[in-house]
Structure 1
């Protein structure tokens, strides 16, 4: 598979032929042509993460000969940026800090001085 084809698969799960070299704008347009708009991609991302899965999908090294993980990641991020899909905001928990968290936040090294 080409870099463009790997990016499309990692984002949509669809295997399609993409001819020519890698162009983030062109790949983004192909994804839109397949019916994957920003909202659909965000929904797929959120559902995968809720199931504890990785998104974009993990592409094993055997499936991307000659394409490094960093190269694939950079290409995927470029396409996501063109599609307007930002990173998923994660919150550890939404409640107020407990006593342990407040103690950690108040603990400052001596060289930081006082705050406030």
Structure 2
């Protein structure tokens, strides 16, 4: 269990971020949350409850806030986002970089609650 998940379970709670209408299917949008740019990816065709992902918008290699403009895809069975500048691939579920393990994106729990997108910032 990650630290953020533990805080949510201990009552830290979820906060409203935007509505489902603000999301773009199979693409990213960026939201400003507690002073951090968070890239949201909505993948309505994915099975189960993993249709929504929240990752840091800041590319660790370039330092630019561009991850939300990346291309969503699948590599070796992993849902990934390809960073726009250097094309490294980050797993959407945990932020791990496939090419450079020392790089990673911060991730947050995110969910749809009815028509509202909620995020747990820890």
Q: So what's the TM-score if we normalise by structure 1?
A: 0.24
| Greater share of helix | 1
Higher relative contact order at CA 8 Å, sep ≥6: structure 1 or structure 2? 1
| Greater share of strand | 2
